Structure 1
């Protein structure tokens, strides 16, 4: 595990997001450290996914700024689910390799094939490589989404409720892979989760979003009494 004293990957300064005349939150400050896992938490509807959209450049901030210390940082996103997965009657291996930008080439290079084999092994998908993605279980699909994101060696991974629909075995299996990549592949992670057991087991830091007083700190110091654990939201 690397120290939080290293230069952060991402800094959020006095972030504020407003819809119409309603502020979701103001004055939000946080940082994503190198090889750290940051859990974004808070009550339903507070705007956690909205912050992720801002980090991905899909949502404009009303106030403050997001600063990448390396503007060329490669970021990949893993959703909770893809509603159009039934439109992809592809084998899992073929689905994962869609992450490659091959241009005009209809084939994979030797290096790309080796990387694909490696990622399928790390995400426990080798034996499922010839299973169709639309016929896979929820846990298998989620690992395929993760494999697709990891295929291009990102330096930042964003997980949006990636374990929400999984049973205990599947969600811990998924997060074990994420932790392995954090520790051994210099990966930094931002994740939204309502699962406090997952947050306490895997996250290093937390950002608690609130319309009143958001806070950032170490998960070891998180006061869980401030949280209401309930249904997942996408605000």
Structure 2
């Protein structure tokens, strides 16, 4: 991999769970201020890759380097892993983005930061709501607000549009683009939304355990998608397949 400025650099990554190879000899380079969309079929190792970068799973081979942690890392997990039954308010959950322990007493300044983040994700006035009262899309936005409260240099998102309607998706992508352009945030996002990857990301990684293709969104072409997903391009958005 070429030597250049990076926020995240993954080289030769291999991860096994018993006899199952989840990720094999994979490379990834995210330059500062870039937006990288990770594309691949279910079970292709996308979420495992993110968890490895976050230090949540063990690595069998390869290296992971992160150089943009000055303002911390924001993480939005998959909606299906989020538990609304936990007896907490939106204010309490979002404030945990600033500290590792549970906030039994939240200072006024932190409350202001939480309210500002909630407003940015379209949840103004939700701070006292219980998590159990939220829809899936609302809970996803709460976790996005939690990831933003530190003003992180790196934002990692795993299927962030899950549970959002089309308007909510658009608002989220616009917000992420603002964070990238105004604050220089680097975004690494797993998604099944090829249209969002093409129109919003600056770089794309197509994978199925290993790297199928990497580069600009122009690599979202029929040949690469068929290599990753194992079927013809007509099952993907026609507008994308004419590019590259």
TM-score, structure 2 length as denominator?
Answer: 0.80
The alpha carbon displacement at 1:144 in A equals 0.8
Match in the other structure for 1:126:
124
**Which shifted more, 148-157 or 17-26?**
17-26
The alpha carbon displacement at 1:64 in A equals 1.4
CA contact (8 A) 1:28 1:215 kept: no
The CA RMSD measured in Å over matched residues stands at: 2.7
Match in the other structure for 2:242:
none
**Which shifted more, 140-149 or 98-107?**
98-107
The alpha carbon displacement at 1:93 in A equals 3.0
In structure 2, the CA distance between the partners of 1:60 and 1:212, relative to structure 1 (3 Å rule), is closer
Match in the other structure for 2:105:
106
CA contact (8 A) 1:14 1:64 kept: yes
Match in the other structure for 2:232:
none
The alpha carbon displacement at 1:217 in A equals 0.8
Q: Which one of 184, 188, 208 corresponds to residue 182 of structure 2?
A: 184
Distance 2:125 2:106 in 1: 22
The alpha carbon displacement at 1:46 in A equals 1.2
Q: Given the alignment of the two structures, is residue 84 of structure 1 paired with residue 89 of structure 2, yes or no?
A: no
Match in the other structure for 2:213:
215
The alpha carbon displacement at 1:179 in A equals 1.7
Q: Secondary structure at the match of 1:8?
A: coil
Count of aligned positions: 224
Match in the other structure for 1:157:
155
Distance 2:189 2:85 in 1: 25
CA contact (8 A) 2:15 2:22 kept: yes
In structure 2, the CA distance between the partners of 1:133 and 1:19, relative to structure 1 (3 Å rule), is closer
Distance 2:56 2:111 in 1: 32
The alpha carbon displacement at 1:102 in A equals 8.5
The alpha carbon displacement at 1:146 in A equals 0.4
Match in the other structure for 1:10:
8
Match in the other structure for 1:233:
none
In structure 2, the CA distance between the partners of 1:106 and 1:129, relative to structure 1 (3 Å rule), is closer
**Which shifted more, 20-29 or 117-126?**
20-29
Larger relative contact order (CA 8 Å, sep ≥ 6): 1
Distance 1:168 1:49 in 2: 23
CA contact (8 A) 2:86 2:131 kept: no
- Structure 1 residues without counterparts, runs of 5 or longer: 231-235
Match in the other structure for 1:168:
166
Distance 2:13 2:153 in 1: 23
Moved over 6 A (4+): 102-105
**Which shifted more, 67-76 or 133-142?**
67-76
Distance 1:175 1:21 in 2: 38
